[in-house]
Structure 1
Amino acid sequence: MGTFARALLVFGAVALLTAPAAVAATADRVDTVSAADQAAALAHWTPERMQQVSADPTEPGERTAQPWTGPAPAGVGRFFFTEVPGVDHWCTATAVTSKNRDTLITAAHCVHPGFTRDDTEIKVTNVVFVPGYDHGHAPRGVFAARGYVVPDDFSLAPRDVAMVVLATHNGRHISDVAGAQRIAFDTRPTGNASMFGYPGSIPVRGEFLLRCDVPVTFRPSSIGDTWDSPCDMAGGSSGGPFLTDFDGHTGTVFSVVSRGAMDVDLHTLSLEGPTLGDAANEVYQRASAM
């Protein structure tokens, strides 16, 4: 099933924690993936398993978000992982321009889903990225993660961002194979944003890409600023990009889908994402150097 941090009337795979009055800059958290675990991830995610993970959706279809019918946007794809001890999930992620040409941006809760009721951290394994995923097809290959970086305070919604570093596929970097979106920090775009995701709603089941072309609203807060949008993509869109200046292929990432509000009928009403400030930039710089 797709993962989604949900607010208001619903509960999600990730607990929304109460934040302190102010958030100070903290150290990054870095995880690395062994070569053996990378190989295991690639073996785990067969085309059949990728489709099976989304076979039992419960959320109604989108009204605002529409199927994307153009060529695959640069670097956007479906991000698969397994929560230990063995539940498969997915999010959305995007390759961004970087020094190593291997870096993705997604939501932190896609690589650190939270804690169990006895306060044990939920870990993930079998982490792979499929750029341009469509109905079980991986037109640009399947890339295993070799590491990821999150802010130390990633459990707070305004810090819900992660950079994932991929291994090469057949000796080629993700940005060379699938392209990459630009990324900007401390920016406040105007006008509409393009938002992409692989939601797990009943008609979509994560099998094809949806897009919202919607206005976004800046929400300042003492615990960290966020962006709010009327995009209605269901769970599974977590980690998907907020893009400004999108020309049909590339744009500039300025946020990622973090959590959504839903009504009593499980329709998503809105999506929220963190601003990409100094903390996100530090995470990006560290991942780019891996």
Structure 2
Amino acid sequence: MIHRMLLFRPAARVRTSARVLVASTALAALVTSTGEPALSAPLPFGVTAEARASRITDRVGALFAGDLDGGHFCTASVVRSDDHNLIATAAHCLDDVTNTVFVPGYRDGRAPHGVWRLTGSYVDPAWQSAEDPDADIAFATVAPLDGREVQDALGGFPLRAAQPDDVAVTVVGYPSARETPLICANSTTKWSSTQRQIGCPELSGGTSGSPWLTADGGLAGVLGGYEGGGTVPEVSYSAVLGDTARALYRQAAVSGG
């Protein structure tokens, strides 16, 4: 939902007047038998709300240019890795890794879990050579903060590749025009053999890279892909996480991979 990044990165899409609800429990964190938080979405499918802080939403953050004064332009989330230092986002959000910071749980100008500086990225060659929308997912490493890795501080989402066309997911993202995250749940639909779409209002510029989370708290996609994630806020896209995405994840997440 944003195609190019500048030093100050404005939203690339115009927000509509669709109503945004403030939900008291937009996202509930449950505990599975394995102890990993799982997701439930009390709001009706296709309704967008302000996301309240929780164990899950705190793993999602805004990407800023330079520091908190640089403006947030994309969204990312912590994913599991051997080195506990990995985040996932859209490939088109990582044009300037050395000038980007990740702020998990960002709200109203505050960084409740710190500001984490990006140190490197893993982007598929198909994106690097031709900006293939089917390769619009990437991973980035972040430096430790106060002696801790980001996954140790917040936990991380496992990858859930090869999901069915109509899987129910919850999207959490940061529109550039807002200072709090939004949340919406819906079932995905097949746009093409390599792209999935979801109907959720208000997911405008800045929500690129937002995680698509399954009911058990796994990463099934990131907002991006076709049309950079979409040209209207009501419909968003993600490249299918198939063999190519899994190989990129293994390269990024597995020590020595």
Describe the superposition over 1:236-257 as per-residue Cα deviations: whole angstroms up to 9, x where unpaired: 00000011115xxxx1111000
Distance between the aligned counterparts of 2:223 and 2:167, measured in 1?
A: 18
Q: Is the 8 A contact 1:206 1:236 kept in 2?
A: no
State the number of aligned residues.
215
1:29-44 equivalent positions in 2, closer than 5 A: none
Distance between the aligned counterparts of 1:219 and 1:58, measured in 2?
A: 23
What is the aligned partner in structure 2 of residue 147 from structure 1? 120
Q: Does 1:211 align with 2:183?
A: yes
What is the aligned partner in structure 2 of residue 129 from structure 1? 102
1:213 Cα deviation after fit: 1.0
Distance between the aligned counterparts of 1:165 and 1:124, measured in 2?
A: 10
What is the aligned partner in structure 2 of residue 13 from structure 1? 4
1:279 Cα deviation after fit: 1.4
Q: Does 1:257 align with 2:223?
A: yes
With normalisation by structure 2, the TM-score equals 0.75
- Percent of matched pairs sharing the same residue: 30
Q: Is the 8 A contact 2:88 2:137 kept in 1?
A: yes
Look up the equivalent residue of 2:65 and give its one-letter code.
F
Distance between the aligned counterparts of 1:61 and 1:67, measured in 2?
A: 15
Structural RMSD (CA): 2.7
Q: Does 1:60 align with 2:60?
A: no
5+ residue gaps, structure 1, are: 6-11, 15-43, 45-51, 113-122, 263-267
What is the aligned partner in structure 2 of residue 69 from structure 1? 52
Distance between the aligned counterparts of 2:9 and 2:178, measured in 1?
A: 9
Describe the superposition over 1:190-245 as per-residue Cα deviations: whole angstroms up to 9, x where unpaired: 55210010012xxxx23101001111113333xxx111011231010000001111
5+ residue gaps, structure 2, are: 20-46
1:79 to 57, 63, 82: 63
Distance between the aligned counterparts of 2:140 and 2:180, measured in 1?
A: 22
Runs of at least 4 residues of structure 1 off by over 6 A? 52-55
1:286 Cα deviation after fit: 1.6
Distance between the aligned counterparts of 1:88 and 1:153, measured in 2?
A: 29
SS in 2 for 1:235: coil
1:135-174 equivalent positions in 2, closer than 5 A: 135-154=108-127, 155-174=131-150
Look up the equivalent residue of 2:48 and give its one-letter code.
A
Report the structure number with the largest CA radius of gyration. Answer: 1
